[in-house]
């Protein structure tokens, strides 16, 4: 969203609930992210630095049960099949590769 959106549009979307095949952003995901950021701020080093290693493994617990293939949440895509994914070729390849 950062590469395609104006800052005003991005800030507006960050403060609303969104659910489309490529993003699920709501009060639960917002709360999880804010909790993580608060924890990181509390662990600030004496020199004012932060250890960012935990940020590499951050994942939203609320989204852990969502099937996510090729940057697309399949449950949402099944409810919005006319949605145009941003990278349809990559999504198609990932979908085929995810088959058993």
pLDDT tens column, 44-73: 888 888 888 888 899 999 999 999 999 999
pLDDT in tens, 14-53: 788 999 999 999 999 999 999 999 998 888 888 888 888 8
Residue 71 backbone zone (phi > 0: left; psi -120 to 50: alpha; other: beta): left
- Note whether 18 and 75 are within 8 A (CB): no
- Cβ partners under 8 Å of residue 84, min gap 6: none
Global pTM reads 0.79
Check residue 45 and give its pLDDT: 85
């Amino acid at each position: 969203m950062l590469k395609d959106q104006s800052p005003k549009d991005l800030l507006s979307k960050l403060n609303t609930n969104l659910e489309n095949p490529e993003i699920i952003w709501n009060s639960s995901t917002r709360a999880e992210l804010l909790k993580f950021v608060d924890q990181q701020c509390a662990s600030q080093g004496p020199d004012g630095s932060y250890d960012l290693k935990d940020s590499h493994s951050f994942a939203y617990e609320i989204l852990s049960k969502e099937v996510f293939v090729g940057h697309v949440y399949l449950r949402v895509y099944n409810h919005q099949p006319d949605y145009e994914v941003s990278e349809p070729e990559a999504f198609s390849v990932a979908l085929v590769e995810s088959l058993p």
